[in-house]
Amino acid sequence: MKCVFCQKEVEIFDRVGVRDDCDHCGRPLHCCLQCKFYDAGAFHECHERAEYRVEHKDRANYCDMFSFGRDASEKVADKAEIKAQLDKLFGRK
């Protein structure tokens, strides 16, 4: 499986815990963006029957329905990287 943040292979031996991070980029593995049920177009952005909406999809959470293995064919946008590019474009420091 690949990390959706850095696109590098992640070895999963048992299951992904809430405190597990990617060995390559340090981003959380147990978050909505890494879950196979994540869908930006679905209710609460989840194909499962989520009782509540998780606000920060890129942060670790305690969702019981989490299942690692989202199709990581497209890299998730990094907010800091986008801001740096915009600052460079508009000449801000």
Q: Where are the domains of the chain?
A: 1-93
**What is the tens place of the pLDDT at every residue in 17-39?**
999 999 999 999 999 999 999 99
In angstroms, the CA 87 to CA 68 distance is: 34
Q: Is residue 52 pLDDT above 70, yes or no?
A: yes
- The pTM (predicted TM-score) of the whole model is 0.74
Amino acid at 27: R
Buried b vs exposed e over 45-71: b needs ≥16 C-beta within 10 Å? bbebebeeebeebbebeebeebebebe
Cα–Cα nearest to 33, from 7, 56, 65 = 56
CB 23 within 8 A of CB 48: no
